[in-house]
């Protein structure tokens, strides 16, 4: 009898041990599953700083930063597939403080597919607002960069990055593409629809070629002669709006020899050999938020048509962090023209409302 009781107790203990082991195993598995699942990390709810969020993020994660001022220098080194989004560029600020020539607020190196959007970025010293080295397929869009030495730089072997729809203020260079001695040029980058004012040069392309610099509002550019870049998307899409363009607009057509103005300067703007804006835009040139694309992806073509509807539609139902979402297609939220982190009926409706318009 005693024997049977002992066996029974041992059997129950074994059962309990097995179930305990099973639950520990499941718990561990769950944690791993949760950690491996792409998700949204919120600053400061989950981590107090953007840097700590970056350090804990997995590939595919989105980091959402609530409004506030963050005094930090964020380093993104050898990372891939991260989206870092500020709540609103008006009140979500990253400030690296007085830095002398030290790094500025955002530093990206040897990385792939990093998005930075929705911030005001500032550094009082000589830092670079967003400094990108040897990185590819990054998107820097919808930011305000103030008071930096260089607002945004792509340096050495940066390829297929997009710098779009940023407001860049008062840098010695607004956007700087740089290669040391031309041996590792930055190529195939798109500089699109930025509004740049500068105390020096708005766009400086040093020993880099095969980049597209189109649709920007700027006053000046410098490019190393012989390193050819594209400064317009042909006729009638046009090139950039140059506030100091000396030409006039009396004619139209691909050769600007037909009667009547067309919003494009009649004479090309020469920057250097291999760097010519053949179709400089005349005022008033304001990109409409619902004109997202034209024949070339994300290059507005001054009309709202099926392409613009399509580029929003394919992302319909997506939200920050799920991989399909693209901040460029997020035109509005409940507040008119304020992005809400998802692409839904509001975004489609806004494009549909302007369908067929040209400007």
Identify the residue whose tokens are 């550019």: 221
Interface residues toward Ca ion, by CB under 5 A: 249, 251, 262, 264, 266, 291, 294, 301, 308, 330, 333, 340, 347
Report in angstroms how near the CB of residue 136 gets to Ca ion at its nearest: 27
Least Å distance, CB 335 to Ca ion, is 10
* Shortest Å distance, C-beta 344 to Ca ion: 6
Residue 264 CB, nearest distance to Ca ion (Å)? 5
In the complex with Ca ion, which residue's Cβ is closer, 71 or 336? 336
- Quick one: 27 or 270, whose CB is closer to Ca ion? 270
CA–CA distance, 357 with 302 (Å, rounded to integer): 8
Least distance from Ca ion to the Cβ atom of residue 134, Å = 33
Written as one string, the DSSP assignment of 7-23 is HHHHHHHHHHHHHHHHH
In a 13 Å sphere around the CA of 25, the CA atoms on its Cβ side amount to: 6
Q: Least distance from C-beta 112 to Ca ion, angstroms?
A: 26
Q: Do residues 339 and 312 lie in contact, with contact meaning Cβ atoms separated by under 8 Å?
A: no
Instruction: Yes or no: say if 168 and 151 are a contact pair by the CB < 8 Å rule.
Output: yes
Q: Which of 166, 173, 172, 127 is nearest to 145 (CA)?
A: 166
3-state helix, strand, coil in the chain (%, to 5): 20, 35, 50
Complex with Ca ion: residue 87 or 249, whichever CB lies closer? 249
Contact 161, 138 (CB under 8 A): yes
Residue 175: its H or E element: strand 167-178
Strand partners, 43: 65
In the complex, least distance from residue 50 CB atom to Ca ion, rounded to whole angstroms = 23
Q: Which is nearer to Ca ion, 175 or 264 (CB)?
A: 264
Length of the chain: 359
Pairing of strands 74-77, 106-109: parallel
């Amino acid at each position: 009898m005693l024997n049977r009781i002992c066996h029974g107790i041992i059997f129950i203990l074994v059962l309990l041990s097995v179930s305990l082991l099973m639950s520990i195993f499941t718990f561990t598995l769950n944690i791993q599953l949760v950690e491996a699942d792409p998700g949204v990390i919120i600053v400061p709810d989950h981590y107090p700083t953007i840097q700590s969020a970056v350090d804990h993020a997995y590939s595919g994660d989105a980091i959402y930063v609530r409004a506030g001022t963050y005094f930090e220098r964020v380093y993104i080194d050898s990372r891939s597939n991260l989206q870092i989004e500020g709540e609103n560029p008006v009140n979500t600020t990253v400030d690296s403080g007085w830095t002398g020539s030290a790094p500025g607020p955002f530093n990206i190196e040897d990385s792939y597919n990093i998005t930075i959007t929705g911030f005001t970025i500032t550094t009082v010293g000589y830092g670079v607002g967003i400094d990108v080295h040897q990185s590819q397929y990054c998107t820097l869009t919808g930011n305000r960069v103030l008071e930096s030495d260089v607002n945004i730089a792509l340096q050495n072997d940066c390829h297929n990055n997009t710098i779009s729809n940023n407001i860049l203020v008062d840098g010695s260079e607004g956007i700087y593409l740089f290669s040391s001695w031309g041996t590792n040029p930055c190529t195939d980058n798109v500089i699109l629809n930025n509004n740049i004012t500068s105390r020096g040069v708005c766009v400086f392309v040093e020993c880099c070629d095969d980049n597209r610099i189109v649709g920007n509002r700027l006053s000046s550019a410098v490019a190393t002669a012989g390193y050819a870049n594209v400064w317009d998307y042909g006729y009638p899409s046009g090139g950039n709006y140059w506030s100091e363009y000396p030409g006039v607009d009396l004619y139209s057509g691909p050769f600007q020899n037909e009667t009547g103005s067309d919003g494009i300067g009649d004479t090309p703007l020469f920057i250097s050999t291999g760097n010519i804006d053949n179709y400089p835009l005349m005022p008033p040139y304001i990109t409409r938020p619902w004109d997202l694309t034209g024949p070339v992806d994300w290059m507005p073509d001054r009309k709202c048509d099926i392409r613009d509807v399509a580029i929003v539609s394919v992302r319909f139902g997506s939200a920050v962090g799920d991989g399909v979402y693209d901040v460029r297609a997020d035109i509005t939220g409940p507040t008119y023209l304020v992005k809400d982190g998802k692409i839904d009926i509001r975004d489609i409706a806004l494009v549909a409302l302007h369908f067929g318009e040209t400007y």
